Amino acid sequence: MVNRRQDVWLRRFPQAGGTPTGPGTDADCELVCFPHAGGSAAYWRPLAVALAPAVDVAAVQYPGRLDRLSEAPVEDLHVLADQIAEALGPPGDRPRALLGHSMGASLAYEVAVRLARLPGGEPRLLVVSGRRAPSAARGRNRNLTWPVDDAELVSRIRGLGGTDAMILDDPELLELILPALRGDYRALASYEDTPGRPLSCPVVALAGDRDPAATVEEVRPWGEQTSGDFRTRVFEGGHFFLNDHPEDIVDLLRGLLPPHTGRPPHAAPHRPTAAG
């Protein structure tokens, strides 16, 4: 049965040659990917193509961008996580993993927490990238970090290096993405994580060694959120280090992602060597 709620939230990208991906294909597992603040599902297209056909990559499309441009952004990460978790529901007959970068890491974590409350719903693996661990961010006054106007917001986005400068320099294109940026940053400014150690699945945290938004020391405590296996992998680069190491990221995920059969639900993944 087709899940129409997933049709609203998830985007899949054809393999090279136009071969479709998604439910009903021969993929070994499903990887649900969550974009950064201001980002769209399209950010994960190269990864989806590289991992196909073994992995069915489903990228989350938040309201307020691209084909959901007419919808208002959701300015509360917990509300957004509720909606995405409801759309995903329990996994089907294939294991599921979640991957999120920056804001997407916090959202992937919150969705994993919600799925873990369903019988058999907890993902087999959570990969968080470029985001402070909850304990490293907890207690801060996030409203102090909220840009006071659009110019400051654009300056911050430009400094992180994840958005094409051509878009930021084009007033018409910038006007299209500003509502999503404002909404995402307001959501981050008010976000407080679900506390405790609510997960039992393996968690892998990725960090850039020169990331000003999430230092290696701030990323490492992600292990506090799970009773399962935890590993950190550090790459050279700033906040968008993923863009600089596409082949390494693909190889890492191939080693981490659970196969369709032959592994119990919460077995430890392949353990990458921690750097830094």
Catalytic residues: 102
> Helices marked H in the chain — which ranges?
4-9, 45-51, 77-88, 103-116, 134-137, 150-160, 165-169, 171-190, 216-219, 246-256
Category of 259 on φ-ψ map: left (φ > 0), alpha (ψ -120 to 50) or beta? beta
Instruction: Give residues with Cβ within 8 angstroms of 239, minimum separation 6.
Output: 102, 130, 160, 161, 162, 208, 211, 212, 213, 214
Q: Which of 140, 97, 132 is nearest to 224 (CA)?
A: 132
